[in-house]
Structures are given as structure tokens and as C-alpha cells.
Chains A and B, each alone.
Chain A
């Protein structure tokens, strides 16, 4: 089994290096950092000094290595726009994004899976049809539009829930901030979480349903019926287990997407997370933030891929036999 993990890690490293390379290329070659940091009129001496300072006079690979090294230490350079270290900017906003992403994912899973199972088993009931139509609308609805509509209904129209910001937050463990400890904080989380989670939920529902239908058509389910097993044993024992194996792994892979996708929701609700930071940075071509974001996301994805692979390994006995 360790061979398995080892080989996966080994595969991940080239990916990280490539992404790091792209991020570095972005960082160094797009735009002129000297101009941006010093402004348009600066003396030649100032220019040379900064170049020396930033190490821009070194050969290419030295700069690349330096870049990776400092990145490993959490130093991603300085944001053009805000003149703060990118590392600390990200650290500040990470908890907000993660909290939002996790809440949305849990919501999506908790509602999506049962709905998917139900519509898979009872294909033609009215409720099933309703769910399917709802899910189709969910897939067609752009996230930002959903956010706006929710704001319109619940904030403007009914005045129940706040429409922007994160509400009061509490510092936990030195670095993390959470809004979950207060009712006001939770209220601020509801609309963004629903907005972010809805797309996920419809995706999960349709996935589970499709898998369920596939599985229910297999020979082994036919054989289970021929042996007189109860509907319950067939649907929730055999079919569900076979359905969930591929579904769980796909959902796991999607989580990385949720984290990245949160940028749209954060923009709509002015949620102070990493996504909003990225959007603001793209608008003004703030390269250091963009490249740091890229590397971070790559890392998150690689980690998640690894975890999902491990999960698959644990759940599907066919993978455990090594010849």
C-alpha cells in the first residue's frame, strides 16, 4: 500500500513543478514589476537597486529555484495593488473561503445524495420529476445570478438575511477566524453557502441518479432479484454501495472545484475570502497574487487527488490485489 501512495506522490511532483513554473513565468515576465513597484518616474539608480534587491539580474534557473524556495516558505512576494505580502493576505482570507466551501459542500452532499437515490429508485413519481426539473434549472442557473436572486428575495424583499460581508468573526487558535460562533455570523453564511452549494447539489443529485440507474441495470442486480432478495436489500445494500464508490471519489475531486468556484459567490456577496482577492487582482493585473493563487490551488488539488485515491483504494477491493 505504501508503494501505492509513493507512486502517487511521485506523479504529483511533476505537476506541481509545472504549475510552479507557469506561476513563476507569470510572476517574472508579465508586466514590469520594477515599473509597477516604483511608479513611472524613478531614477536609474533606484531601478538598479530594486533589480538587485529582487534578484532580477540572476540567471533564469537561479530565479526559478529562488522563487520555489521562497514559495515553500510561504513568501509569495508583494501584492502590486495592496503593497502587502501576498502570503499574509492569503492567510487572512483562507479561513473565510474554507468555511464557506466546507459548509456548501456538506449541504450539497447531505441533500444531493438522498435526492439522487430517491430519483434513481423511483423514476417516475411526481416528486422525482420535480427534482429533475429543479436540478436542470440548477445546472442552467449561473451562480452569480442565483446569488442575486437570493439577495433580492431574502435581503431586499424579506429582509431576513444579510446580503454582504461575513458578519462578526472570532479568532481561534491564533490564526483561524470563524463566524460560526455567533448567530449573526451564521446568518451571514447562509445565503452564500446555499448559492455555492446549489450547483454542487444538482450535480451530485444527477450523478448519483445516473449511477444508480446504471447499477440497477446490471446483471448482478438482476441476479439479486432472481434470488428473491428484498427491495430494501437490493436498493440500499447492493445498489447503493456500488453507486457510492465512484460517486464519493468524484465528489471528493469536486471539493477542490468548490474552493476555487467560491470566487464567484464571494464576488456577489462581498465575502472576504481568497476568491474575492483573486477577482480583484485579475481586474488590475496584480500578478503576484495571481501566481500565488495558482500554486496554492494546484497544491490543494494534488492533496485532494491523493486523498481520493486513498479512499478508492480503501473502498474497492478490486484495487487491493497487486500482482
Chain B
């Protein structure tokens, strides 16, 4: 379409078209957006501050969510055993969950893409060894890797520093558990690109290797990386929630959704199910939305399925 602006070309591109017309993609993007906004702006829009001990009163404890008797509109989703508002706790919790998930995925991407590019481009013994390491790590479930890394580092740190550094340890642990996925894909794509004529031409001209990797190879491998990144984000969030649930994750002063679920687990049998279930639903919604977007992205980027 000659003369069209780049905006309208983007709007009409196959990928944007597929997004516009897919109700699933639109719905999940909408949900993800709502949750992200709620999480990011939690301090501004949350009805209560669950961490403000002074505002809590045991009189408010265990109020059920709206719709059940004894409920109160100021606590839409009820309160927990200390009177903390569940809705606000969820919003703050999502904040932490998203933050940790996002940072650990980023870490995994940087390490994974770097290693993948190196392994693919250098080839030979270096490449083979790096991939072997990735393969071996991949045979272990990521949660196990994250758990062990978390445990080892926590044990190695002197007790006083543990709490303060805990969040970084978690980010590191989860990131370490996810990098092989990126490395393998990037390496595969790099191998394919490396053998293409334009790369060989660049080498003949004398362009330095790192430049070829960065300027030529990298843009071509971004597509699959984005797909894995979305799915990886979902995995990272679940990993953090699981670690927190098991008690080896974030300290209870910065509760994530997983921590909240762990708190509430104790009250299942005494009937206050909402303390656990609502954070659980929030978690599911968030991960589901992210996974759906990742699925859609993968289908949109795969030319053969169209």
C-alpha cells in the first residue's frame, strides 16, 4: 500500500489483524492490563493499606466477602485473621508477584540470550559445552532448581543479611532456573542465521563478530524469544508463588500472592475460605492472561499456521 503511514501499516499488518480479530487475545490483554494497572498503582487506589499495623483492629477480623452475612462494603473481599483487607492485600501482593516475575524473567533473558548467541555463533566445543549444561539443567524441573539455589544461597548468607537480600535471592534463583529455555532457542536460531549468506558476507567484509551478532543475528531471533518470554513470565510468577507458599520465598513483610495463599491455607478448615481463594483466583487470572497472550503470539509469529 504505497503512501500509507507506518502507523496504518502496523495496524493492517497480519499480526495486528490477528490480534484485533481474536477475542481471546483481546480479552486476555484486557485482563492483564487491568491487573497490571491495579498492581502498579496499588498504593494510590487500594482501599486500605494492609501493611499499616496501626490501622488494623482485631474487631475487623474475619469479615466475609460481600454477599455473605456480616459483610461490609468497605472490605469487598473480606478480611483475614488480623483484620487486613483481602482486596488491598491482593493488590499489593500482585505488585510484588509481578515485580519478582518480571525481574527474574528479564534476568533469564539477558543470561539466556547472551549464552545462546555465544554458543550458536562460536560453535565448536564452547557451544557444545554450553548447550550440554543447559540441557542437563533442563532435565530438572525449574522449581527444583529454584528451590535448591534459593536454599544454598540463603544458607551461605549470614543470618542478619538474609531478610534484606531475600527478594534478590529469589529473583536470582528463579532467573537461573529459566535461562536454559532462552539459551536453547536463541542458539538454534543463531545457528540458522549464521549459515545464511548475509552473515558470511559481513564476515568477509571484516565486520567484527560481536557486531554481527548484535546487529544482524539478534533482530532475527527476537520473535521466538518474545514468545518464550511471555510464557516464561507466567512460569516465573508461578515459581515465586510456589516458593512463597512453601515458606522459602519472600519474607512475610512483603507478601506476594503466594504468601497470602499460605496464610489463608490455615483457615480452610475453619471456614474462612476467602482468605486463600481470592488471592488464588487473582494468581490464576494473571497467569492465564499471560499464557493466552503468549499462545496467541506464538501462533501469530508462526507463518505456517496461518
Q: Which residue of A is nearest B144, CB measured? A: A260
Residue of A30, A156, A260 near B155 (CB, 8 A) is: A30
Interface size on A, residues (CB 8 A): 38
User: Which residues of the partner chain B approach A282 to less than 8 Å between Cβ atoms?
Assistant: 147-148, 150-151, 154, 248
* Chain A 241-257 residues near chain B, CB threshold 8 A: 253, 256-257
Whether the pair A140, B234 counts as a contact (CB closer than 8 A) is yes
Whether the pair A141, B155 counts as a contact (CB closer than 8 A) is no
Given A136-B295, A260-B140, A261-B141: A143 touches B288 (CB 8 Å cut-off): no
Prevailing SS type, chain B contact patch: helix
Prevailing SS type, chain A contact patch: helix
Given A136-B291, A140-B291, A144-B261: A152 touches B268 (CB 8 Å cut-off): yes
* Chain B 216-250 residues near chain A, CB threshold 8 A: 234, 238, 241-242, 245-248
Whether the pair A142, B147 counts as a contact (CB closer than 8 A) is no
| A136 CB, min distance to chain B CBs, angstroms | 6
Number of A-B contacts (CB under 8 A): 106
Whether the pair B248, A279 counts as a contact (CB closer than 8 A) is yes
Whether the pair B141, A260 counts as a contact (CB closer than 8 A) is yes
State in angstroms the CA–CA spacing of A282 and B139 once bound together.
21
Is there a chain A Cβ closer than 8 Å to B256's Cβ?
Answer: no
Whether the pair A294, B148 counts as a contact (CB closer than 8 A) is yes
Interface size on B, residues (CB 8 A): 39
State in angstroms the CA–CA spacing of A281 and B248 once bound together.
10
Residue of A15, A136, A149, A267 near B288 (CB, 8 A) is: A136
Q: List 25 A-B contacts (CB under 8 A).
A: A26-B152, A31-B156, A136-B288, A136-B291, A137-B288, A141-B284, A143-B242, A145-B261, A145-B283, A148-B265, A152-B268, A156-B268, A156-B269, A257-B140, A260-B141, A264-B245, A264-B246, A279-B247, A282-B148, A282-B248, A283-B246, A283-B248, A285-B151, A290-B151, A305-B139
15 additional contacts (CB under 8 A) given A140-B234, A144-B261, A264-B143: A30-B155, A141-B287, A144-B242, A145-B283, A148-B261, A148-B265, A149-B277, A156-B273, A257-B139, A257-B141, A264-B245, A282-B150, A282-B154, A287-B155, A305-B139
Interface residues of A (CB under 8 A from B): 15, 26, 30-31, 136-137, 139-145, 148-149, 151-152, 156, 253, 256-257, 260-261, 263-264, 267, 278-279, 281-283, 285, 287, 290, 294, 297, 301, 305
